[in-house]
Chain A
Amino acid sequence: MLLLTAALLTGCGDAMVFDPKGPIAAQQKDLIYISMLLCVVILVPVLALTAYIVVRYRDRKDSDAPYEPTWSHNTKLEIVWWAIPIIIIAILAVVTVRYTHALEPSKPIVSEKEELVIQVTSLDWKWLFQYPEQDIATVNYLYIPEDVPVRFELTSDAPMNSFWIPQLGGQIYTMSGMAMTLYLQADEPGVYYGSGANFSGEHFADMTFFATAVPQDEFDAWVEQVKSTSEPLTVEGYDELRQPGTSHVQQFAGIPEGLFYDIVTRYVVDGQNPHAGHGASAPEAEEASDSADAAEHGHDESHAAH
């Protein structure tokens, strides 16, 4: 078993989580190593002690090991092994609390560069990525500029899912009726695997995608290329897209105004036909965007109350 573990550990360097390509994933890797180390500090002595006791005190005829059938209490020893886990856990708890605040997913990544916003919607069974500033959208693939903080705003127009690009950082749920925020950044160009991590029904396994990080000028060129070679996404087009089914990669030059906020709020607006929001004009979209903020806010509050 130890051999097996050792064999695995040597191979661990290649695992996505241990091969981070961005600041968030890198800190998470450090944290994983810290917690692993603290665990190993206890694990190794306990395993050694187990082996020793089992071998030494096995029942043999000529055993010279002491035998004390009624020895069942020793205050000092018991204090020691209440203390050991308490100390280790206390250290880990302090580290954890620090990192929990540092790595709060909605906390912006500090950078001189201006952040890029990508609006993510999990659908049955595909991902829609909207780039509101560039006014383009893609399905099942992502392009991001390297070294630029990306602010993902995430929601779902299907059963909840979870957006995860292991080499860039940990996952976050996508849920209908609310917009979550996740900051990630790629430090170097590359193609990074991403997936929907939370089971969402029949073709859940097909919700994988690749995020390609490129230098800024290539990114800009890509945006231009999308704009010049694709059709825009229309409201009707989105309605088709959200029908259950899998999809190849797609791209769109242009997105309906306020689509993301319509998706978020279609679930929270009371007593209204959920489809009435489509094709909303500009002022309405602004209103909707307000209530999306409200939804997000309410979400935080409802969690605080747990």
Chain B
Amino acid sequence: MDTIKQFASEFFVTGDPLILGAQVSIGLTMVAIVFVLSYFRKWGWLWREWLTTVDHKRIGIMYVICSILMLFRGGVDALLMRTQLALPGMEFLHADHYNQIFTTHGVIMILFMAMPLMFGLFNIVIPLQIGARDVAFPFLNSLSFWLFFWGAMLFNMSFVIGGSPDAGWLAYPPLSGLEGSPGVGQNFYIWGIQISGIGSLMTGINFIVTILKMRAPGMGLMKMPMFTWSTLASCLTIILAFPILTITLFLLFMDRYFGAHFFTLDAGGNPMMYINLIWMWGHPEVYIVILPAFGIFSEIVSTFAKKTLFGYKSMVFALMSISIASFFTWAHHFFTMGSGANVNAFFAVTTMIIAIPTGVKIFNWLFTMYRGRIKFTTPMMWTISFIPCFVVGGMTGVMLSVAPADFQFHNSYFLIAHFHQVLIGGVAFGFFAGLTYWWPKMFGFKLHEGLGKWAFWLWNIGFYVCFMPQYFLGLDGMTRRMYTYDFDMGWGPLNLVSTVGGFLMGIGFLFQVWQIAHSIKFMQKDTTGDPWDGRTLEWSIPSPAPLYNFATVPTVSETDDWWATKQRRAAGVPDAPAPALEPIHMPKHSGIPFVMSFFWFVAGFGFVFDWLHFVIPGLAGVAICMLVRSFQYDTDYYIPVDEVRRTEAALRGGKA
């Protein structure tokens, strides 16, 4: 009995009322979910329609749901930290608890919030935007999602079981090594990220092939919508950067698990190697998430200014050069590691160079609006507010890149303010804009504009109130990651202001949740499929799009092809006769991605606790799933013409 007790107290994180509360509420939520699913007999539905789906639109929706949940978790982390910092000498969180929270906050926001929200938008939009019926590898797509899902589960579990990682979101050794972090938290970090990271890599490959190979006839590369271009740039960056992450974490795992010495000094290893490697992934990673946001802004600006995007070629060139240049700046994250003047000067200059194409894009967006007719819908408001926010964030980025000056900014709140400004003002606002913009395409109704504007203002005002004071705090010597500070430092008032701003953004998030709930309840069905008067192909089909997307694959002749079609129709030019319907080739649902990823989760869990009785069944399960899939030949089917005709007639109200 005692051994069981002993085990339980080590296995479950105990002793903190906050965590106990979380454990209880997680338990209750799980019971509630099981109850609701059983009561309404929805298990079969859940399995058939969602867990086994290979439909990119549904996978996209699942990504979005997960990322909103993760935004909640990461947001609660943030508010806990801001509460602790609100006043000097605050005793709300202990040091160890605070350290865990900022670590999980960072990992969750970048890898389990921003990345899946981005993948969600890729999935929902890209095939529709290029006139394709699915992604290039639907099965792989589903596998990517479930790897992300189970990786995220594994990471989040550490909160209640075993203990969270606490060595920062990039886990520098020696702190993240076995000696610095003997607990299992760091193992959760490694395996949670590793499992979902494989999914990210596969998504990158999948969308590159989709974009290069599956575009509708006539859509040359230089006729692709800008979001598609930005996705391509982002995915190219993914496939070059993520293998570095995988290897780096694998080496860290070897160090911790097998006592290898890649990053420990004792036997000739070197922690500086890790810092170089992790940033060779880490810097491109921030561009992986911002590039698609640039794409989203381009679509929205052009739609709501009712004008063709200005400087298309410049935009494409800027996107591609940013994605390449982002691989040559990594050392700006450690100018203070004593690399010598020449190395620092080199990386300072390469970093500044990135600001050039970024600046050009800003001008192009501005001149898209110039001589346009700007409509202030919520997606457009997010876009407009992004411009000043990102310009300031980019400027402080340029200031950080001035190596000798960075000696004074590095590791301070100045840095924190910079990257939140680009990540919130750029990435988060961008994805919010995209989500609101494409929401009607996903669900067939718009989100409530009034509530959306409340959320918009709260987020924006909250952002400046929260982060502008932090620039100043950084210049006043306040370093990041300190869980408390002395009254004498005089940092109290600005921290209090900053905390208020944090909570304003929190309320903004609540408004978004309310907005979604309200819109679901009181939705007005959009029957046009084109509620914003859009310009690209996704708006030419009904919302939500039918399973096969396009009854007949469109032929593209212009950059904003749907806009051109509408112009022709308005001028009274009849549409070219639609080609005859043909049976549509579709992939079959499969449970293997879900099951296989679950086995990865089991194996990962085993690695975390060093329990072979989990590792072996887990890996065996993965292998068996692969085998089963290899011998499956019956993986596709055809939708007969009749059914397509019936669906189209129903969706378009008779005018098929």
Report whether chain A binds chain B: yes
Chain A residues engaging chain B, CB cutoff 8 angstroms: 1, 4-5, 8, 11-12, 14-18, 25, 27-28, 31-32, 35-36, 39, 42-43, 46-47, 49-50, 53-54, 57-59, 63, 65-74, 77-78, 81-82, 84-86, 89, 92-93, 95-97, 99-106, 159-160, 162, 164, 166, 169-173, 175-177, 180-181, 193, 195-205, 208, 267-268, 270, 274, 299-300, 302-304, 306
Are A105's CB and B407's CB within 8 A? yes
B432 contacts the other chain (CB 8 A): no
Are B464's CB and A202's CB within 8 A? no
B160 contacts the other chain (CB 8 A): no
Q: A39: which of B353, B395, B480 is its contact (CB, 8 Å)?
A: B395
Contact flags (1/0) for B327-369 with A, using CB distance below 8 Å?
0000100101111111111001100110110011011101111
Chain B residues engaging chain A, CB cutoff 8 angstroms: 95-96, 99, 166-168, 172, 174-175, 180, 265-268, 270-272, 276, 305-312, 314, 331, 334, 336-345, 348-349, 352-353, 355-356, 359-360, 362-364, 366-376, 384, 387-388, 391-392, 395-396, 398-399, 401-408, 410-412, 464-465, 468-469, 471-472, 475-477, 479-486, 489
- What is the bound-complex CA distance between A198 and B398, given in angstroms? 22
User: Which of B337, B348, B362, B405 lies at the interface centre, i.e. has the most chain A CB atoms within 10 A of its CB?
Assistant: B405
Chain B residues contacting A306 (CB-CB under 8 Å) are 276, 331, 339, 343
> Shortest CB–CB separation between residue A125 and chain B, in angstroms?
10
Q: B464: which of A1, A197, A201 is its contact (CB, 8 Å)?
A: A1
Given A171-B407, A205-B485, A15-B476 contact (CB < 8 Å): yes
Are A205's CB and B95's CB within 8 A? yes
Are A106's CB and B338's CB within 8 A? yes
Given A17-B476, A59-B374, A105-B338, A202-B99 contact (CB < 8 Å): yes
- What is the bound-complex CA distance between A46 and B376, given in angstroms? 20
Are A175's CB and B271's CB within 8 A? yes
Are B344's CB and A100's CB within 8 A? yes
24 A-B pairs whose Cβ atoms sit less than 8 Å apart in the complex:
A8-B468, A12-B472, A36-B399, A50-B366, A53-B366, A53-B369, A59-B375, A69-B306, A72-B307, A72-B310, A73-B312, A97-B349, A101-B345, A103-B404, A104-B341, A159-B174, A160-B271, A164-B477, A166-B477, A196-B479, A205-B482, A205-B483, A208-B486, A268-B265
Q: A176: which of B265, B367, B373 is its contact (CB, 8 Å)?
A: B265
Chain B residues contacting A205 (CB-CB under 8 Å) are 95, 481-485
- What is the bound-complex CA distance between A27 and B405, given in angstroms? 9
Chain A residues contacting B175 (CB-CB under 8 Å) are 159-160, 199-201
**Contacts A72-B311, A96-B404, A302-B272 given; 11 further ones with Cβ under 8 A?**
A46-B366, A54-B374, A57-B372, A66-B371, A71-B310, A81-B364, A89-B355, A171-B336, A173-B338, A175-B337, A267-B266
Chain A residues contacting B403 (CB-CB under 8 Å) are 96, 99-100
Nearest A residue to B398 by beta-carbon distance? A39
Q: Which 9 A-B pairs have the closest CB atoms?
A: A170-B407, A267-B265, A159-B175, A72-B308, A205-B482, A15-B475, A39-B395, A85-B359, A103-B404
- What is the bound-complex CA distance between A169 and B367, given in angstroms? 43
Chain B residues contacting A17 (CB-CB under 8 Å) are 408, 475-477
> Shortest CB–CB separation between residue A51 and chain B, in angstroms?
9
- What is the bound-complex CA distance between A199 and B479, given in angstroms? 9
Are B352's CB and A93's CB within 8 A? yes
User: Which of A72, A95, A300 lies at the interface centre, i.e. has the most chain B CB atoms within 10 A of its CB?
Assistant: A72
Given A43-B391, A77-B367, A303-B338, A67-B411 contact (CB < 8 Å): no
- What is the bound-complex CA distance between A69 and B309, given in angstroms? 9
User: Which of B308, B359, B406, B471 lies at the interface centre, i.e. has the most chain A CB atoms within 10 A of its CB?
Assistant: B359
Are A96's CB and B481's CB within 8 A? no
Chain B residues contacting A28 (CB-CB under 8 Å) are 404-405, 407-408
Chain B residues contacting A99 (CB-CB under 8 Å) are 402-405
- What is the bound-complex CA distance between A43 and B362, given in angstroms? 11
Chain A residues contacting B368 (CB-CB under 8 Å) are 72
Q: A54: which of B268, B384, B391, B395 is its contact (CB, 8 Å)?
A: B384
Chain A residues contacting B338 (CB-CB under 8 Å) are 105-106, 172-173, 180-181, 299-300, 303
Nearest B residue to A200 by beta-carbon distance? B175
Are A160's CB and B172's CB within 8 A? yes
Are A160's CB and B174's CB within 8 A? yes
- What is the bound-complex CA distance between A100 and B401, given in angstroms? 11
> Shortest CB–CB separation between residue B282 and chain A, in angstroms?
15
Chain B residues contacting A8 (CB-CB under 8 Å) are 468-469, 471-472
Are A69's CB and B372's CB within 8 A? yes
Q: A100: which of B268, B348, B384, B476 is its contact (CB, 8 Å)?
A: B348
Chain A residues contacting B168 (CB-CB under 8 Å) are 199
> Shortest CB–CB separation between residue A235 and chain B, in angstroms?
20
Chain A residues contacting B411 (CB-CB under 8 Å) are 162, 164, 171, 197-199
Are A35's CB and B311's CB within 8 A? no
> Shortest CB–CB separation between residue A18 and chain B, in angstroms?
6
Are A14's CB and B341's CB within 8 A? no
Given A104-B340, A166-B477, A68-B174 contact (CB < 8 Å): no
- What is the bound-complex CA distance between A197 and B309, given in angstroms? 45
User: Which of B353, B363, B485 lies at the interface centre, i.e. has the most chain A CB atoms within 10 A of its CB?
Assistant: B363
Are B477's CB and A173's CB within 8 A? no
Are A159's CB and B476's CB within 8 A? no
Are B349's CB and A170's CB within 8 A? no
Nearest A residue to B559 by beta-carbon distance? A72
Q: B341: which of A25, A39, A101 is its contact (CB, 8 Å)?
A: A101
Are A67's CB and B373's CB within 8 A? yes
Chain A residues contacting B476 (CB-CB under 8 Å) are 14-17, 166
Are B180's CB and A159's CB within 8 A? yes
Chain A residues contacting B307 (CB-CB under 8 Å) are 68-72
- What is the bound-complex CA distance between A65 and B307, given in angstroms? 14
Chain A residues contacting B412 (CB-CB under 8 Å) are 197
Given A54-B369, A92-B352, A177-B265, A31-B404 contact (CB < 8 Å): yes
Nearest A residue to B411 by beta-carbon distance? A197
Are A199's CB and B369's CB within 8 A? no
Chain B residues contacting A193 (CB-CB under 8 Å) are 477, 489
> Shortest CB–CB separation between residue A65 and chain B, in angstroms?
7
Nearest B residue to A100 by beta-carbon distance? B345
Are B388's CB and A50's CB within 8 A? yes
Chain B residues contacting A200 (CB-CB under 8 Å) are 175
Q: B481: which of A1, A43, A78, A204 is its contact (CB, 8 Å)?
A: A204
Are B343's CB and A303's CB within 8 A? yes
Q: A172: which of B311, B336, B464 is its contact (CB, 8 Å)?
A: B336
- What is the bound-complex CA distance between A166 and B474, given in angstroms? 10
Chain B residues contacting A47 (CB-CB under 8 Å) are 388, 391
Are A70's CB and B308's CB within 8 A? yes
Given A50-B387, A63-B373, A176-B336 contact (CB < 8 Å): no
Chain A residues contacting B484 (CB-CB under 8 Å) are 205
- What is the bound-complex CA distance between A171 and B337, given in angstroms? 9
Chain B residues contacting A12 (CB-CB under 8 Å) are 472, 475
Given A92-B398, A171-B407, A304-B375 contact (CB < 8 Å): no
Given A31-B404, A104-B340, A84-B174 contact (CB < 8 Å): no
User: Which of A16, A268, A300 lies at the interface centre, i.e. has the most chain B CB atoms within 10 A of its CB?
Assistant: A16
- What is the bound-complex CA distance between A5 and B395, given in angstroms? 14
